[in-house]
A and B are shown apart, each in its own frame.
Chain A
Amino acid sequence: MALKTWKELPIGCVVSEPGSASEYHTGSWRSQKPIWDNAKCIKCGICYVYCPEGCVQQTEDGFFQADLDYCKGCGICAHECWPRAIKMVEEE
């Protein structure tokens, strides 16, 4: 998405397209990402419940993963995961 110049901004920066915040990939703020060890995961879903961004998703086999377009790398999922199946690793 090309960034607009100051002249191209709508007056008052009104956002006229509903739901367009999803185009803004806040995942770019992240410095660490969560990695699941499915051998330890018991599919309890606590990571899914606690994710403040709502970006932890359950896959068809019942395990979990983060949508990295929106995961800010806060680490709450890793902190809450009591079987310690989630590790935060540095982004390259």
Chain B
Amino acid sequence: MGKRIGMEVAIAVAEALGLCDIDMAAVYPITPQSHIAEHLSDLVANGEIDAEFVTVESEHSAMSAVIGASGAGARAFTATSSQGLMLMHELLPIASAMRLPICMAIANRAVSGPLNILNDHTDIMPQRDSGWISLFVENGQEAIDMSIMAFKIAEHKDVMLPVNVNIDGFQLTHMVEPFEMPSKEEVYRFLPPFVPHATLHPAKPVTMGAFAMSDYFTEIMKAKDEALKNSKKVIADVLDEWGKMFGRNYKLVETYKSEDAEVIMLTMGSMGETAQMAIDDLRAKGVKAGLVKLRLWRPFPFVEIRAAVQHAKKLIVTDRAITFGGLGGPVFVEVKSALYSEKQRPLIYGYIYGLGGRDVPVGDFIGMFEKVLADTEHKAVDTYEFWGVRE
């Protein structure tokens, strides 16, 4: 098995990438992602990994460069945060339409304005419809494991789609945690060499990203949607394979004491661990509370979510982003859609919290449960609340 080490999560992610036999990386530094870029460029500069590190002048260029490299057949990586991700936005649907298995680490950070460098999910949510696979991690170990698994998922012949791994900025990236780091040999056995579906090579010329008019655009969008939906099976298989090889088992939707729970909370990302402590406290007080953690955001695991929450009386969906002018948070909206056609479904409550890095301690999660439990007239149903907002 791998070595047990203590390290900052962002550095460890770069170390894990160093095991993945990447051919190139183009990363523009931005807080709180910069340590990934810095350490990865160190690994390349020190000759520890045989890869090109392209120092680009912006995130738009970074994404453009990895698209080109991936098209040429390289295993390509980038990483970003917040405004950097917003600057990449234009190119994200192009990468997925061209079916280029680029992997990207996102150190999630609030999007301006006002300028705020701290953690929430307002950067990834506007990229939701870009056609990328979106994974969320809960702790440093998962960040390492998922960064490696991302390549295997992306490059699977039935997937061939870009993947982003969402790692909460600061709350995860800047923590020093103990990890089990797989060895290079183990990763080599787990991750086969990249076989592209097509390459830009003069021996067999092809055109990538060609123009398409109304006669083909619909068919191309349908093909992309199907590819993304079908990737769910491969993602689940890769997680299983990882579990068998490394003993750390991950599911698309994780449950904690939720099987017999009357009230379930749903979280995504690093908040899951704090929420888990709240569940233990509530259980000790006799409250049948449970937790469901969403690891896969796109493609959305509708079947798995239904199975995990359907039996509860009440469901608290937490969001760290807002769909302004809509129905609260994007996860809340999605979960409601997932349950619309079900005869048996819980009452659903939406809480938007932890915006711009605002601390959410265990007591706040307990407070959400208490508020929902006290709502006997179901006043809060079909609405959402900014948790802890000063009125």
A interface residue numbers (CB < 8 A to B): 3-7, 9-16, 18, 21
Report yes or no: A6 in contact with B207, Cβ–Cβ below 8 A.
Answer: no
Top 8 nearest A-B pairs (CB, nearest first) are: A12-B99, A15-B207, A6-B219, A6-B222, A14-B198, A6-B223, A11-B197, A12-B98
- Residues of B close to A11: CB separation below 8 A: 99, 160, 197-198
Measured CA separation A10–B206 after assembly (Å): 12
A15 to chain B, nearest CB (A): 4
Which of the four size classes fits the interface of chain B? 20 to 34
A40 to chain B, nearest CB (A): 36
The residue on B at minimum CB distance from A20 is B207
Report yes or no: A6 in contact with B226, Cβ–Cβ below 8 A.
Answer: yes
Report yes or no: A12 in contact with B198, Cβ–Cβ below 8 A.
Answer: yes
A20 to chain B, nearest CB (A): 8
The residue on A at minimum CB distance from B99 is A12
The residue on B at minimum CB distance from A29 is B213
* Given A15-B206, A21-B210, 5 extra CB contacts under 8 A: A6-B226, A7-B223, A9-B223, A12-B98, A13-B212
- The interface centre, meaning the residue of A10, A15, A18, A21 with most chain B CB atoms within 10 A of its CB, is A15
- Residues of B close to A3: CB separation below 8 A: 215-216, 219
Report yes or no: B219 in contact with A12, Cβ–Cβ below 8 A.
Answer: no
Measured CA separation A4–B210 after assembly (Å): 16
B159 to chain A, nearest CB (A): 10
- Residues of B close to A10: CB separation below 8 A: 198
- Residues of B close to A16: CB separation below 8 A: 198, 204, 206
- Residues of B close to A7: CB separation below 8 A: 223
- Residues of A close to B160: CB separation below 8 A: 11-12
B253 part of interface (Cβ distance < 8 Å): no
CB contact between A13 and one of B97, B205, B215, B218 (< 8 Å): that residue: B97
Report yes or no: B197 in contact with A9, Cβ–Cβ below 8 A.
Answer: no
A-B contacts, 23 of them at CB < 8 A, read: A3-B215, A3-B219, A4-B219, A6-B218, A6-B219, A6-B220, A6-B223, A6-B226, A9-B216, A9-B223, A11-B160, A11-B198, A12-B97, A12-B100, A12-B160, A12-B197, A13-B97, A13-B212, A13-B220, A13-B223, A14-B208, A15-B210, A16-B206
- Residues of B close to A21: CB separation below 8 A: 210
Measured CA separation A4–B160 after assembly (Å): 21
Encode B88-120 as 1/0 by CB contact (under 8 A) with A: 000000000111100000000000000000000
B155 to chain A, nearest CB (A): 12
Measured CA separation A5–B198 after assembly (Å): 21
- Residues of A close to B206: CB separation below 8 A: 14-16
Report yes or no: A13 in contact with B197, Cβ–Cβ below 8 A.
Answer: no
- Residues of A close to B222: CB separation below 8 A: 6
Measured CA separation A79–B18 after assembly (Å): 60
Report yes or no: B226 in contact with A13, Cβ–Cβ below 8 A.
Answer: no
- Residues of B close to A4: CB separation below 8 A: 216, 219
The residue on A at minimum CB distance from B96 is A12
Measured CA separation A10–B208 after assembly (Å): 11
Report yes or no: A14 in contact with B197, Cβ–Cβ below 8 A.
Answer: yes
The residue on A at minimum CB distance from B160 is A11
- Residues of A close to B197: CB separation below 8 A: 11-12, 14
